[in-house]
């Protein structure tokens, strides 16, 4: 726990406009130390809480990575997307929730569909294609986030569909890549993978968005418009500062700050696209040697 918290703190510190590299270095050292101690203890334990021998199987290892990355991409995208809807487009929380609805609905529909096609494609092959399609769908929304609303809804539904299928395929692959007597351990690791991915998604997306916003805002907002340092901390703070300016100044600051936020938004989605693509390529590498277990599903 200390190791994970330390690593998360280091990532969040890096996302600040003026990060403390000393604090970040201390956090990384502490995180590395405690995670190393945990791994060594688990390897020596007669009854380990985490059976690391499972990770020697490439199919299992890559499925866990895919689960973490998929959950991180899904949660991270929803985090920055909900913020953009409210802070940039000015939607209410209810309106933003309705706009996001195609994502979870697509994911909901994907579960049964993925379960239907898993026996036909094989769990590893299904995982590869769903990750690849998720990456493509995420990239598509990078180019469509300012398009007409109907087109955005279709794009979001496709993203939810592919991400939901990837999560289902990752879950199935994790469970089918281990012996029957290790099913309990695999189930625990499956749950932890999704939880860890969600936490990582919030940390990475939030930190990256903050860092890119601070950098972009510092470049696009004229110094004569405002000298208030909180303007560069977040879009929410910038909008509060805009409320103290004249109508003309407020309009200019709002436009500049929202433009900087959109730069960060695109950067987050592009990062998630790359992570999903990397996860897909890792799964593809294990395809020739992986045992595709389908008999039990038929």
Triad 31, 34, 38: Cα angle to 5°:
130
The answer to whether the beta carbons of residues 219 and 245 sit under 8 Å apart is no
The highest-level CATH class for domain 55-298 is mainly alpha
CA angle 16, 22, 23 (to 5 degrees): 60
Give CA–CA dist 101/160, Å, rounded.
9
Question: What is the overall mean pLDDT for the chain?
Answer: 84
pLDDT for 179 equals 78
Please compute the mean of the pLDDT values over residues 235-251 and round it to a whole number.
87
Kindly tell me if the per-residue pLDDT of 295 is higher than 50.
no
Rounded to an integer, what distance in angstroms lies between the CA atom of residue 87 and that of residue 152?
18
- Residues 106-162 have pLDDT tens digits of 999 998 888 888 888 888 888 899 999 999 999 999 999 999 999 999 999 999 999
* Alpha carbon distance 215, 16 (integer Å): 10
Model confidence at 203: pLDDT above 70: yes
> What average pLDDT does the segment 239-265 reach?
89
Question: For 236-254, what is the mean pLDDT?
Answer: 87
| pLDDT greater than 50 at residue 188 | yes
> Looking at residues 40-58, what average pLDDT do you find?
68
Q: For the chain, give the percent of residues with pLDDT over 70.
A: 86
Residue 43 pLDDT > 70, yes or no? Answer: no
User: Which has more pLDDT, 81 or 172?
Assistant: 81
- Supply 195's token pair: 């939880």
Where do the domains of the chain lie?
1-50, 55-298
DSSP 133: H
């Amino acid at each position: 726990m200390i190791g994970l918290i330390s690593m998360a703190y280091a990532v969040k510190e890096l996302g600040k406009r003026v990060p403390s590299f000393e604090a970040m270095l201390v956090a990384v050292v502490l995180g590395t130390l405690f995670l190393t101690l945990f791994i060594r203890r688990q390897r020596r334990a007669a009854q380990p809480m985490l059976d690391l021998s499972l990770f020697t199987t490439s199919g299992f290892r890559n499925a866990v990575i895919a689960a973490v990355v998929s959950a991180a991409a899904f949660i991270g995208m929803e985090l920055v997307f909900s913020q953009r809807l409210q802070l940039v487009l000015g939607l209410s929380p209810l309106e933003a929730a309705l706009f996001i609805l195609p994502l979870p609905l697509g994911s909901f529909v994907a579960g049964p569909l993925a379960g239907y096609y898993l026996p036909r494609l094989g769990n590893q092959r299904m995982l590869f294609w769903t990750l690849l399609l998720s990456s493509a769908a995420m990239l598509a929304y990078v180019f469509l986030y300012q398009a007409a609303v109907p087109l955005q809804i279709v794009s979001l539904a496709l993203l939810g569909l592919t991400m939901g299928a990837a999560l289902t395929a990752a879950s199935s692959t994790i469970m089918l890549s281990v012996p029957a007597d290790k099913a309990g351990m695999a189930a625990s690791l499956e749950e932890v993978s999704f939880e860890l991915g969600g936490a990582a998604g919030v940390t990475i997306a939030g930190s990256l968005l903050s860092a890119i916003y601070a950098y972009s805002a510092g470049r696009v907002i004229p110094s004569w418009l405002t000298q208030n340092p909180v303007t560069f901390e977040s879009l929410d703070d910038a909008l509060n500062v805009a409320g103290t300016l004249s109508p003309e100044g407020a309009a200019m600051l709002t436009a500049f700050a929202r433009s900087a936020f959109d730069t960060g938004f695109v950067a987050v989605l592009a990062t998630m696209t790359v992570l999903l693509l990397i996860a897909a390529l890792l799964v593809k590498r294990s395809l020739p040697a992986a045992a595709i277990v389908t008999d039990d599903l038929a």
